[in-house]
Amino acid sequence: SAVISQKPSRDICQRGTSLTIQCQVDSQVTMMFWYRQQPGQSLTLIATANQGSEATYESGFVIDKFPISRPNLTFSTLTVSNMSPEDSSIYLCSVEKGAGRGYEQYFGPGTRLTVT
Amino acid sequence: DQQVKQNSPSLSVQEGRISILNCDYTNSMFDYFLWYKKYPAEGPTFLISISSIKDKNEDGRFTVFLNKSAKHLSLHIVPSQPGDSAVYFCAASARSNFGNEKLTFGTGTRLTIIP
């Protein structure tokens, strides 16, 4: 398994500002993932962060809006830039553990962001 | 385009009875399916999974059934307990270009177990 912590757990931010969310894992992992869960919606993958390379973004998400860092095998950050109220969501990081089919992703507790 | 659908946003079940949560998918490339459970203020936690080569997987009180022809899966919890009250997410996976599991989630079903 994996124990994942996120900071901050929640924040209220003004539009136009940026927030950086930190994700720390208790063991080394190759891939980390960032998800967004908007109110009443499913979890949507924002990007995959592989240590030592640029993050890969899903359709609808761009690096300028959601820059990601992955400086080592246990840590990653996601920045939500130039925020608007539409960015109000829960942001979660996750990691994969294991190999082959049958492994699952472990999720952090999430960061609840409210943009006013 | 919602590729994984959970059409029941909420479900209430009496304690001790069976809870059945349903999930439908549209993408035939999905070959691995998972259920996650989420409590408030916590991240989702893995519950049970099933490969597309199987039609049933059981783990204690939890059983997942897969009907590939109908593109439908269900999670059965029996007997239901108050601690099962949570939001349940169905997720489907296809291998990404990087070889990792790329999960597509449903919108969740809030299960309430009535004592």
Confidence of residue B100 (pLDDT cuts 50, 70, 90): low
- So what's the pLDDT on residue B45? 92
Mean predicted confidence (pLDDT) in B22-32:
93
The distance of B33 to chain A (nearest Cα, Å) reads 10
Q: Residue B52 above 80 pLDDT? A: yes
Query: Which residues in chain A show pLDDT less than 70?
Result: 98-103
Cβ separation A42–B2 shorter than 8 A: yes
Q: Does A31 touch chain B (CB under 8 A)?
A: yes
Residues A12-43: tens digit of each pLDDT = 999 999 999 999 999 998 889 999 999 888 99
- So what's the pLDDT on residue A41? 87
Using H for helix, E for strand and C for coil, what is the string for B4-67?
EECCCCEEEEECCCCEEEEEEECCCCCCEEEEEEECCCCCCEEEEEEECCCCEEEECCEEEEEE
- So what's the pLDDT on residue A54? 86
- So what's the pLDDT on residue A39? 86
Q: Residues of A with CB below 8 A from B100's CB?
A: 31, 48, 96
